[in-house]
Amino acid sequence: MIESDFVKFDRKDYVPKHELSSFFGSQLLADYALGNLDPIRARLIEEKLRDDDNLATSLRALRHSINYCKSLGNIQLSNDVFVEIQEPNELVPRWGKWLNWKKWPTSFRWSSEALAISIFVAIVASLIPWKRFLYQFTLDQKWTIVEVKRDSPRGLKTEIDLADAVAAGGQRAAIPKGDEELTPEVPEPTNEPPAPSGKTSASPNVTGVDQVSVKPNTSEQLPTPQKGFVYRANIKLKNLDSVSPKIVSLIENLGGIKAGEVRLGWRKPDGSYFHFLIEEIRYEELKKQLLQYAPVNFTKDEHPRVIESGKMRIILWIEEIIEPTIEPTIAKPENNQNPRSESEVKPEKSPAPPAEPPPQ
Amino acid sequence: MQAAGTEEVRDIAVFFYFSLLNEKLAIEASRKVVIKFNNLLKRNPDLRRTATIIHITNQVWSQFHKKNSEQGVVALNKSRWILPENVDLGPWRQFRKESETNELLITIWSQILGYSHRDIANGLNVSEGTVNHRVGRSLRHLGAMYKLDALND
């Protein structure tokens, strides 16, 4: 029977059959240096160290590092360090805990985040110059208040209720001019040709019109950049299709240049639209020429678009007078001398001018 | 119940001094560990003190290690932390820079502070064999820096 080393195991007498390899020697060297190896392995290492110089050098280095660590462990601390560690300032950790944002309670943290974001948004919103944007927006909006005075056959005056105009967007009532200044006009268009107005467009003999351009109160307080002006005028004419080309040629002969995107005399269902630039010296002549067709009265309005000096921007709106298809039954005011016809007239229902008095 | 003694406070401070190489952070971290240690002792006076210190220092070190990385190299006050004569911190700085975290901390606990491997194993919740292996590896690593010098001896 072969006696196995593992069966008859006695550490003191045990001698392994094989030598320790260099790899195992290097792996066990640290434990050998620290004294953690059992006597058998320690003896093997010692045998290996006699033959292997490289392993012996590694052992010296290991012992050197162990001694170095022990010498580091002999570091001495001054009393200040002990005092600083053992008597800590209680305020620092207490406040430090609350200053650390991540350690806040979740609900409080989210609430504070929401509050901070809302404050930030409010500050940004207050810093944005909203008035500047609103100013640009409101300059394009104009409210025109119109007062139409009409001579009725029985001396009754029919007026368009200004309350309607105010309700339509105006801020205050129009101030009528004197009778001698009243000219047949209709509300002027703004940038676009106006839509036909029920009362004004249907009444051919409008004797007095006054118009003012009312802007919202907000625009009065807004900063005013460099101002430009636009001149507006309105005319009512019959046979517009024949007159419109003449006015176009008149403007062009006076050196007028189309402004805007539409051509001169742009035809709309209820009128023609002229938007053009003309030199200031030709303005009087233009006005004089237009008077041949109808009384014209230009108004000067402020406008953000600035035109170069020496030129004027004019918007002329010519509204076509549509002949009533039903023969009028109301006499004209200047010929209204028949008391019988007065009793037959119902002026509030009749937008047409008074008719001729019956023959005697 | 007995609060952290002077020797324990010293061990804690030395651990953070060599692991962080930043005096200010070392004191701050030591203060934190001492407070935690004392609080734990209040709750359970029968704690294994060395293992508990190792456990807490390991936790706190991971927090302060990030701060230390942000601050970079800091000059040390040699009047408050007095090293023995003829001991240079250069090899330790090099070892701290090149070694892994496990090796670094175990070297401090085992070789500098002289804690037993059993206490280290209990504090880190690992086996003693693991501690032995890490100690051997770290010593080989540190010894490699002295190998050339040893050859010349």
Q: What is the pLDDT of residue A339?
A: 42
φ, ψ (nearest 5 deg) of residue B137: -65, -40
DSSP state of A169: T
**b/e map of A83-95 (b: 16 or more CB within 10 Å)?**
ebbbebeeeeeee
Say if the Cβ atoms of A31 and B132 lie within 8 Å.
Answer: yes
Residue A40 neighbours by CB under 8 Å, 6+ apart: A11, A14, A16
Q: What is the pLDDT of residue A111?
A: 93
Say if the Cβ atoms of B135 and A72 lie within 8 Å.
Answer: no
Residues B135-139, mean pLDDT to the nearest whole number: 89
| Whether A29 contacts chain B with CB within 8 A | yes
φ, ψ (nearest 5 deg) of residue A134: -65, -35
Q: CB–CB of A316/A274 below 8 Å?
A: yes
Say if the Cβ atoms of A76 and B17 lie within 8 Å.
Answer: no
What's the gap in Å between the CA of B67 and the closest CA on chain A? Answer: 14
**b/e map of A189-225 (b: 16 or more CB within 10 Å)?**
bbeebbebbebbbebbebebbbbbbbbbeebeebeee
DSSP state of A183: B
Q: What is the pLDDT of residue A120?
A: 96
Ramachandran assignment for A185, one of left (phi > 0), alpha (psi -120 to 50 degrees), beta (any other): beta
**Higher-scoring residue by pLDDT: B116, A335:** B116
Q: What is the pLDDT of residue A181?
A: 41
Q: Which pairs count as long-range contacts for A258-265, CB under 8 Å and 24+ apart, including other chains? A: A259/A313
Which residues of chain A lie closer than 8 angstroms to B146, CB-CB? 60-61, 64-65, 68
Neighbours of B112 (CB within 10 A): 23
pLDDT under 50: residue ranges of chain A: 1-5, 7, 155-190, 192-216, 218-219, 331-360
Q: What is the pLDDT of residue A350?
A: 41
Q: For testing the chain B interface, which of A31, A58, A74, A85 should be mutated: the one with the most B CBs within 10 Å?
A: A85
Residue of A nearest to B23 (CA): A81
Paired sense of beta strands B81-82 and A271-279, if any: unpaired
Residue B113 neighbours by CB under 8 Å, 6+ apart: A73, B11, B14, B15
| Cα separation, B108 vs A70, whole angstroms | 10
Q: What is the pLDDT of residue A93?
A: 59
Say if the Cβ atoms of B91 and A64 lie within 8 Å.
Answer: no
Residue A255 neighbours by CB under 8 Å, 6+ apart: A278, A279, A282
**b/e map of B12-26 (b: 16 or more CB within 10 Å)?**
bbbbbbbbbbbbebb
Residue A156 neighbours by CB under 8 Å, 6+ apart: A347
| Cα separation, A75 vs B112, whole angstroms | 10
pLDDT grade for B149, boundaries at 50, 70 and 90 = low
| Whether A91 contacts chain B with CB within 8 A | no
- A104 residue type, one letter: W
Tokens standing for B23? 């005096």
| Cα separation, A183 vs A294, whole angstroms | 10
Strand residue runs (E) in A179-326: 208-214, 228-237, 257-258, 266-268, 271-279, 299-303, 311-320
Q: What is the pLDDT of residue A19?
A: 73
Locate tokens 């630039």: which residue?
Answer: A277
What's the gap in Å between the CA of A46 and the closest CA on chain B? Answer: 18
Q: What is the pLDDT of residue B7?
A: 83
Residue of B nearest to A55 (CA): B147
| Whether A126 contacts chain B with CB within 8 A | no
**Nearest-CA neighbor of B68 among B16, B25, B17?**
B25
Q: What is the pLDDT of residue A174?
A: 41
Say if the Cβ atoms of A84 and B112 lie within 8 Å.
Answer: no
Say if the Cβ atoms of A72 and B92 lie within 8 Å.
Answer: yes
Residue A276 neighbours by CB under 8 Å, 6+ apart: A251, A256, A257, A258, A259, A264, A313, A314, A316
What's the gap in Å between the CA of A45 and the closest CA on chain B? Answer: 15
- β-partners of residue A315 are A232, A275
Ramachandran assignment for A172, one of left (phi > 0), alpha (psi -120 to 50 degrees), beta (any other): beta
The beta-carbon neighbor of A72 closest among B9, B27, B87 is B87
Percent of chain B residues past pLDDT 90, beyond the cut: 20
The beta-carbon neighbor of A85 closest among B27, B81, B142 is B27
| Cα separation, A273 vs A205, whole angstroms | 22
Say if the Cβ atoms of B82 and A78 lie within 8 Å.
Answer: yes
- Give the sign of the dihedral formed by CA B106, CA B112, CA B113, CA B114: positive
Say if the Cβ atoms of B81 and A73 lie within 8 Å.
Answer: no
Which residues of chain A lie closer than 8 angstroms to B79, CB-CB? 78
> What value, to the nearest 5°, has the Cα angle with vertex B148 and ends B146 and B153?
90
ipTM for the complex? 0.88
Which residues of chain B lie closer than 8 angstroms to A73, CB-CB? 14, 111-114
Please report which residue ranges of chain A form alpha helices under DSSP H. Answer: 22-34, 39-51, 53-73, 79-86, 91-99, 106-127, 130-139, 162-167, 198-202, 217-220, 240-253, 283-290, 339-344
| Cα separation, B93 vs B90, whole angstroms | 5
Give one DSSP letter per residue of A86-144, joined into a string: HS--THHHHHHHHH-GGGS-HHHHHHHHHHHHHHHHHHHHHHS-HHHHHHHHHHT--EE
Tokens standing for B72? 């970079």
Which residues of chain A lie closer than 8 angstroms to B10, CB-CB? 77, 82
